Structure 1
Amino acid sequence: MPNSYFDQLIDQLKPVVYDSDFDAIFQALTKDLDGPTRFKLKMELNRLAAPCRRTVDLRNQVDDECFPYEHQGRRHQLDSVAIEIFEKGLDTYKGVFTQDTFEQILDADNQLRRAQEEERAYAQSLASQNAEPVSGQSPFRTESNEPYSYLVETFNFGRYPYRSEERMNFTIDVLLTDDAEQEFKGITADISITGMRVRLDESRDITEQDKVELSFIGLAKEFTVDPEMRIPYIVVGVQHIGGKQYINLSRESEFRSDELDSFFQRFINGYKKRYRVNIDNTYDSVISKGHEQFFLPRTRQLPVYFSEANKRLIADYVLTTDNNRFILDTWLNELNQISFGSIFNVRRSQQILEQIETQGTAQIIVLSFSITARGKIYHYSATADELKRSGLWDTYIAFGRQKASWRVLQIDIRRSDSERAWQPQAVPEHIKVPFRINPPSAEVKQAVKPLKYLAAVSDVTSSVSGLTTVELNKAELPSIKAFAHPPAVPLRTKEARLEFVNLRKERRFNYRSRCRVKAGKFVRDAMVIDLSISGLQVQMDNPANINAGDTIYISMTGFLKTYKKAKLNELPYIVASTDRAGTTLRLKADTTAEPHQGSDFIRFLIREQRDVLKLQVENTSVNGLPLCLRNLYCEAPAAIPIFFNRSKQKQLSARRAGMPQWTSGWLRMLQKLPGSRDAIINLQPLLRGNAVADTLEPKLKSMERDAFPESLLLLIRLYRQNGEYIVQTKWCETDATDDIDGFIDQCLPSSVFRAITVNLSRAGKPDIQFIQAELAYMSHYAAYKAEDLEEELWKIFGVAETIDITSSLLNFVLPDTASVNEQEQRLTAWLEKL
């Protein structure tokens, strides 16, 4: 009798064949069948349910790999499909390997195997396009590429939580009363003189700024504290962790009790060694500062700081490093003044301010070049929107990109709070620690106070210039004069220099010695204030008209008194930079005059007087204006840096990512991908496949730590196929026009397109002095934490600065702004469906 005739009935009866009441169930289900048919059906069930004594060996019979599978003393050789059938049969037949299961394994003809083959073929087709489901469940994943390797810890830029008081870990019962006179109990997690963190027994509807009154009912049992005293507090934070609700409380400033303050002061000082001071805020601060000092000197983005006057943006300052100053190279006028601020005329300023008002941030794509004529430099700039509206897109680009000064800049702008320019160290003021950073001077505060906006400028020239093929229409050339800047620069942008010791190639020593400076006809006595083999820092009493790049001549008159035979007169040095007052010169040896006798002498001096020389560890960016501008930028950088650590086996892995408060499509994508959560993000689009080992690691390992960053372009396509959300990636050089153009064409019909510039840099040594105060404080209460954290900073090997430049590329491919904005809307819709 063909089983197919009774498939449904047989499937119903299989699970109860070995039950004691099988006969009763069989009679009930077959009461409508005649006797012979019922007999044949029962015989078939008995045959299928009979124990099978055979050993199954599928090796050389199936394409998939077979694995040993033991059952009741027999070792079978089964592939993954057969194992699934075998275990399902054991479940159906109460642990018995039956003839039915044996036949299913052999006769499967293999619907499951065919389905698996189809799945494998589908995955293979995705893999051939460097794509896979967002879920990351590709069957081709290798052990070195498990999903957890995509997940990295995050830290918040610019967050250095300061506590004016020490907070001790201590648990004691408290009683809280809300505005409605409802009482509820809690337990302290930590306490300070005027604040505490409380875990509630039951979750309650409490929000920030709510007011509560608190009674120390637990302390009253052991100390002379009045349990009836109700002290007013304000809720300053609410968190839910591990199913528990925590509230952070700060005592109302109007409440005064010298007796209570004195009690808590004695109590915390007396018990903090036993219960430990809570240093979580200090730990978080070291994480942030430690990673920021690796990233900031290496950023290729140029921070620009604006004040506002008569509805116009005034570019007051730029914060430069060795890696971002190239952006200013084409924005110097014939007087060597920075004229970058002239981009922001009244019309553009108003458009930017309106965009910030409605959207929170603004972005403009600026295309610029300069012309030199009659000893003057004339700058031209136009935004992508202006050129498309005016119809001069082709003519402007065709003419401009012939110039060596041709640049395309993506400028992202947001508000900035000048009150955040000063960030105290995360150690209470009354605690003595090494290297306490002083607040900025009145002059610096005055300089920073007007700053209301911050821009991050990215040079995208190499990525976009080849995306449009245009011919020059000479008849339209006169029209582009509308984009010429006025010849005068009414307000000059000032440069602030950001430096960290971890980029220095050599040791620098503090040493005072007289010298003489000669620059043309200018001759002045001065003082050497620090020195290294390749450079000097010289201070003059009066300012001089000396600029960066000038060659000057130094006579080391102070050393000549002791080393009379040394040749130390008129040694050539190049001015690396000057301070704002024009009195301090930072010099590097002019190596065109080899051997440089000044370098040879200082090398000798370091060797002979090492005990006398004081090694300089002072950081030029931890005081004054550069520090304040640095803090403002760290509030919300427009990039997401990824930090790579190197293990003892010299393998690289992504360890941490810096999370900005500047929202971008790239940030939203990483936060939305499966696996991302608080303090963790999924770097699947960046690291999927063997991107670290094949693409990033070779470049990082071949770089010197002071080398200019190497840039790559990561192209991302997001789409749906067969009901799955797919991410496809492509790595290419930043100027690979054909790859970029082809990938965009693939995306434009219905997919989401993203383009991420990845700037790779080697990390140097950690600038421990910058975090010395926090590390010293941590060491006092948790030495192992401080040691582990410092050791982790030493493991940082490289930094990848990732910047979303999607709109820049699309502006050169799509016809209008509406089409570019549609891509942003498409990304939002795609992420919402995840």
Structure 2
Amino acid sequence: MPNSYFDQLIDQLKPVVYDSDFDAIFQALTKDLDGPTRFKLKMELNRLAAPCRRTVDLRNQVDDKCFPYEHQGRRHQLDSVAIEIFEKGLETYKGVFTQDTFEQILDADNQLRRAQEEERAYAQSLASQNAEPVSGQSPFRNESNEPYSYLAETFHFGRYPYRSEERMNFTIDVLLTDAGKQQFKGITADISITGMRIRLDEPRDIKAQEQLELSFVGLAKEFTVDPEMRIPYVVVGVQQVDGKQYINLNRASEFRSDELDRFFQRFINGYKKRYRVNIDNTYDSVINKGHEQFFLPRTRQLPVYFSEANKRLIADYVLTTDNNRFVLDTWLNELNQISFGSIFNVRRSQQILEQLESAGTAQLIILSFSITARGKIYHYSATVDELKRSGLWDTYIAFGRQKASWRVFQVDVRSCNSELAWQPQAVPEHIKVPFRINPPSVEVKQAVKPLKYLAAVSDVTAYVNDLTVGEVTKSQLPSLKAFAHPPAVPLRTKEARLEFVNLRKERRFNYRSRCRVKAGKFVRDAMIIDLSISGLQVQMDTPASISAGDTIYISMTGFLKTYKKAKLSELPYLVASTDRAGTTLRLKADTTADPHRGSDFIRFLIREQRDVLKLQVENTSVNGLPLCLRNLYCYAPAAVPVFFNRSKQKALSTRRVGVSSWTSGWLSILKRLPGSRDTIINLQPLLRGHSVTEVFEPKLKSMERDAFPESLLLLIRLYRQNGEYIVQTQWCETHATDDIHGFIDQCLPNSVFRAIAVNLSRAGKPDIQFIQAELAYMSYYAAYKAEDLEEELWKIFGVAETIDVTSSLLSFTLPDSASVNEQEERLVSWLDKL
């Protein structure tokens, strides 16, 4: 008879088996059963209650540690689960170790084994898909068996806390009176002439902008300060730290007392070396600025700044560096004028403004190419929505992809506040420090004031180029003229350039000039798109079977029109690299030809004819317009950069992550994962498994500091399984079309899909000049902190710029915008449940 039929009855009878009135209790509880059944039940109870004479040894049978456990002269080896069962059995059976207890211990062991095997099998099945539970926060092991955590510290872009007065760390009793005339005590944490931070041991309901009256009862005991004088202060902040409440106060502006100001001035100057000035704001500023200066020259996103006129966006400025100016390469006309702003016509401007009003951010995905004919460049651009509505999607893409100028841009737009363009250094104005940055001039303020919107433009061509395959329908070709730009450039976008610590071996200058490429019997007209003394970058309309290491000959036909006496025909250049399409060549001068006539000519051009290179204006100062535009961008960049440090043992680790108020779906995921908080970000999707040692480290170690970032694609799937939230990742080559399609198909039924572009690059040298004022100020009061911070900046080895490109990939793989929007809604729902 299976015991399962009588489990409840047996459990009732077990505790009374050894009682003298067991028979009476048994008869009463089984009166409804027939005789044979009662007999079998009693025999089963006798079997379970029989004393067990066996010794239990669970060593090498369970994973948990076993301990010796003695009972009636026998020493058992039991784990914690078995000990609990053993002692519960002794309690049930009046101190007797029974067969029932023995079987429960073995059964528990079997259950544990089965659970462990099932858990291992489940974990293995997830691992085979490169997935794991979101709650898996314990550090994983790398190849050297060192623990590596997913968690990294954060810094916040654009925050340079400024204090007009020095604050001294000083504790003294004060008495506060609120608006209801209730008094309570506090202790200062730091003080300045017109402000202070106070700790309250007992929390109170105090809110920002509330006014309090304060009496310096502690100072009155040692100095000539009137303890009855009540000074009005305004609460500017309330914080909870380690269970204590802190309030930040500023003296009310209507209160004036020269005598009190002079007292605090003398008091702080006299004691600040003893009690130390609070430099937390300066420390935070150096952290933020230092990491920004590593990131900015490495970003591949191009910031574009807009004003608004007649409900149209006017692209007034672009902020360029060596690594992002390539975005403009296909948007220069035959006069070398930047025509990028013409993308934002009235219709698209209104679409962006409507999105900004309803959602706070806006996005366009632009597909563009250009045609060169009769010495002029004709630009074409279309959005995804425009092409799908017009029915020209396949023809436009198939035709455009044949051009070397074919590009797909993801344009993310947000509002910006021109008031944030000037950010003073985090050192009080009256303190003398080296390299004080001056406020912008009146002209710069006027130039910045109209700016209302900021776009981050990402070139996503490599990620989406092969995701859709279409054919040209010849009958539709005339319809493409609807996407052609007017030949003139009514709105000229101006370039502001940021200069950094030298990252390249020599300067490059962007300039368009016609040339001719000759490689054996292959001869083609082409365009020089940038040049330096030792190299060129050349773009052809048709691909060529030219490989790295080949020697080719360049004739600078465009320059020959102006410099007729220069010998610029068939100059030898070595091919350093080519793009995947075979249309863009990166060349270096063939030094076996000495002197090299091409290098000599470009050296002359740079030295004597800088007006020819007017688009590449050097800006060796951090003041002025570029600084203001930099500050506007740094307040909220669209990317999430991850910084890698290298230790003295040359081990690589993630150190910090940059966050901002521009929250993408990618940043929302990282912020909501377990373990993330204000100062910590969980990078689990990015760092899963051995990504650091297998994906990032080999690439970073093989890079030069002046190398262009290497792009990777991270695909993420978020879903639920067995009641757990699971994150699955896959690293892809940018052209792995089948892998990308397969991963998206896997996500479509009920999972969340995200695609993250990761631009990996070596870090340059820290730009100490930019943070010199703050470092010098820190050194005066805490030299060890300044030294440690500077040393930490020198340890930064690489930067991974991560950009959410989900919409771009989905727009090229899903049939309509409704399907793309569904994924965004699914992400919001998933995060809410998490």
Counterpart contact for 1:321–1:499, Cα < 8 Å? yes
Give, as a single letter, the amino acid of the residue that structure 2 aligns with 1:832.
D
Deviation of residue 191 (structure 1)? 0.8
Counterpart contact for 2:16–2:22, Cα < 8 Å? no
Deviation of residue 175 (structure 1)? 2.1
Counterpart contact for 1:55–1:74, Cα < 8 Å? no
Aligned residue number for residue 486 of structure 2: 486
Aligned residue number for residue 560 of structure 1: none
Distance in 1 (CA, whole Å) between partners of 2:4 and 2:811 is 63
Aligned residue number for residue 714 of structure 1: 714
Distance in 2 (CA, whole Å) between partners of 1:468 and 1:684 is 31
Aligned residue number for residue 56 of structure 1: 57
Aligned residue number for residue 332 of structure 1: 332
Distance in 2 (CA, whole Å) between partners of 1:291 and 1:739 is 34
Distance in 2 (CA, whole Å) between partners of 1:205 and 1:552 is 78
Aligned residue number for residue 81 of structure 2: 84
Deviation of residue 762 (structure 1)? 0.5
Secondary structure (helix, strand or coil) at the match of 1:289 reads helix
Count of residues in correspondence between the two structures: 736
Counterpart contact for 1:464–1:812, Cα < 8 Å? yes
Aligned residue number for residue 667 of structure 2: 667
Give, as a single letter, the amino acid of the residue that structure 1 aligns with 2:81.
E
Aligned residue number for residue 253 of structure 1: 253
Deviation of residue 15 (structure 1)? 9.5
Give, as a single letter, the amino acid of the residue that structure 2 aligns with 1:133.
P
Which deviates the most, 750-759 or 176-185? 176-185
Q: Does residue 298 in structure 1 map to residue 302 in structure 2? A: no
Q: 1:24 to 1:339 in 2, by over 3 A?
A: farther
Give, as a single letter, the amino acid of the residue that structure 1 aligns with 2:369.
F
Distance in 2 (CA, whole Å) between partners of 1:308 and 1:752 is 36
Q: Deviations over 1:784-814 (max 9, x none)?
A: 2111111111111110000000011111112
Q: 1:175 to 1:591 in 2, by over 3 A?
A: farther
Counterpart contact for 2:365–2:808, Cα < 8 Å? yes
Counterpart contact for 2:140–2:689, Cα < 8 Å? no
Q: 1:3 to 1:366 in 2, by over 3 A?
A: closer
Percent pairwise identity: 79
Q: Deviations over 1:77-103 (max 9, x none)?
A: 88xxx6633455357658999566654
Aligned residue number for residue 497 of structure 2: 497
Q: 1:3 to 1:416 in 2, by over 3 A?
A: closer
Aligned residue number for residue 759 of structure 1: 759
Distance in 2 (CA, whole Å) between partners of 1:631 and 1:169 is 30
Counterpart contact for 1:123–1:138, Cα < 8 Å? no
Counterpart contact for 1:501–1:619, Cα < 8 Å? no
Aligned residue number for residue 47 of structure 1: 51
Give, as a single letter, the amino acid of the residue that structure 1 aligns with 2:51.
R
Aligned residue number for residue 804 of structure 1: 804
Q: Deviations over 1:216-254 (max 9, x none)?
A: 222222221122222222221121222222111111222
Deviation of residue 111 (structure 1)? 2.4
Give me the TM-score of the superposition, normalised by structure 2.
Answer: 0.81
Structure 1 vs Structure 2 CA RMSD: 3.8
- The 5 Å alignment of 1:433-448 reads 433-448=433-448
Aligned residue number for residue 529 of structure 1: none
Q: 1:185 to 1:57 in 2, by over 3 A?
A: closer
Deviation of residue 634 (structure 1)? 0.3
Distance in 1 (CA, whole Å) between partners of 2:115 and 2:786 is 54
Aligned residue number for residue 412 of structure 1: 412
Give, as a single letter, the amino acid of the residue that structure 2 aligns with 1:128.
S
Unmatched runs of 5 consecutive residues or more in structure 1: 508-531, 536-548, 554-571, 573-588, 601-617
Secondary structure (helix, strand or coil) at the match of 2:466 reads helix
Secondary structure (helix, strand or coil) at the match of 1:825 reads helix
Q: 1:211 to 1:65 in 2, by over 3 A?
A: closer
Q: Deviations over 1:121-167 (max 9, x none)?
A: 12211111111111116999779799970011001001110101000
Distance in 2 (CA, whole Å) between partners of 1:646 and 1:29 is 75
Q: Deviations over 1:263-317 (max 9, x none)?
A: 1111111111121111100000010011111110000001111111222111111
Distance in 1 (CA, whole Å) between partners of 2:360 and 2:278 is 36
Aligned residue number for residue 685 of structure 2: 685
Q: 1:769 to 1:110 in 2, by over 3 A?
A: same
Aligned residue number for residue 833 of structure 2: 833
Q: 1:620 to 1:654 in 2, by over 3 A?
A: same
Give, as a single letter, the amino acid of the residue that structure 1 aligns with 2:57.
V
Secondary structure (helix, strand or coil) at the match of 2:405 reads coil
Give, as a single letter, the amino acid of the residue that structure 1 aligns with 2:732.
C
Aligned residue number for residue 399 of structure 1: 399
Deviation of residue 11 (structure 1)? 5.9
Distance in 1 (CA, whole Å) between partners of 2:687 and 2:594 is 46
Aligned residue number for residue 538 of structure 1: none
Q: 1:449 to 1:144 in 2, by over 3 A?
A: farther
Give, as a single letter, the amino acid of the residue that structure 1 aligns with 2:111.
Q
Deviation of residue 725 (structure 1)? 0.8
Deviation of residue 751 (structure 1)? 0.7
Q: Deviations over 1:731-788 (max 9, x none)?
A: 0112211111110111011110000000000112211121111111111111221111
Which deviates the most, 463-472 or 181-190? 181-190
Secondary structure (helix, strand or coil) at the match of 2:174 reads strand
Q: 1:697 to 1:77 in 2, by over 3 A?
A: farther
Unmatched runs of 5 consecutive residues or more in structure 2: 31-37, 508-531, 536-557, 563-570, 572-587, 601-617
Secondary structure (helix, strand or coil) at the match of 1:756 reads strand
Distance in 2 (CA, whole Å) between partners of 1:228 and 1:706 is 66
Deviation of residue 66 (structure 1)? 8.0
Aligned residue number for residue 272 of structure 1: 272
Q: 1:137 to 1:273 in 2, by over 3 A?
A: closer
Counterpart contact for 2:142–2:690, Cα < 8 Å? no
Secondary structure (helix, strand or coil) at the match of 1:648 reads coil
Give, as a single letter, the amino acid of the residue that structure 1 aligns with 2:175.
L
Distance in 2 (CA, whole Å) between partners of 1:468 and 1:236 is 55
Q: 1:235 to 1:137 in 2, by over 3 A?
A: closer
Q: 1:270 to 1:45 in 2, by over 3 A?
A: farther
Distance in 1 (CA, whole Å) between partners of 2:805 and 2:598 is 46
Give, as a single letter, the amino acid of the residue that structure 1 aligns with 2:758.
V
- The 5 Å alignment of 1:363-512 reads 363-501=363-501, 503-505=503-505
Give, as a single letter, the amino acid of the residue that structure 2 aligns with 1:47.
P
Secondary structure (helix, strand or coil) at the match of 1:812 reads helix
Distance in 1 (CA, whole Å) between partners of 2:638 and 2:21 is 71
Q: Does residue 730 in structure 1 map to residue 730 in structure 2? A: yes
Secondary structure (helix, strand or coil) at the match of 1:136 reads coil
Q: 1:826 to 1:533 in 2, by over 3 A?
A: closer
Counterpart contact for 1:645–1:655, Cα < 8 Å? yes
Secondary structure (helix, strand or coil) at the match of 1:470 reads coil
Counterpart contact for 1:123–1:139, Cα < 8 Å? no
Which deviates the most, 810-819 or 29-38? 29-38
Q: 1:475 to 1:212 in 2, by over 3 A?
A: same
Q: 1:87 to 1:243 in 2, by over 3 A?
A: same
Deviation of residue 104 (structure 1)? 3.9
Counterpart contact for 1:10–1:45, Cα < 8 Å? no
Which deviates the most, 648-657 or 24-33? 24-33
Which deviates the most, 695-704 or 210-219? 210-219
Q: 1:66 to 1:224 in 2, by over 3 A?
A: closer
Distance in 2 (CA, whole Å) between partners of 1:590 and 1:102 is 85
Which deviates the most, 668-677 or 117-126? 117-126
Q: Deviations over 1:631-670 (max 9, x none)?
A: 1110000000000111222111111000011011001100
Deviation of residue 552 (structure 1)? 14
Give me the TM-score of the superposition, normalised by structure 1.
Answer: 0.81
Deviation of residue 414 (structure 1)? 0.8
Q: Deviations over 1:501-549 (max 9, x none)?
A: 1525489xxxxxxxxxxxxxxxxxxxxxxxx9999xxxxxxxxxxxxx9
Counterpart contact for 2:86–2:105, Cα < 8 Å? no
Counterpart contact for 1:282–1:427, Cα < 8 Å? yes
Distance in 2 (CA, whole Å) between partners of 1:26 and 1:142 is 62
Secondary structure (helix, strand or coil) at the match of 2:487 reads coil
Q: Deviations over 1:449-468 (max 9, x none)?
A: 22111110000011112111
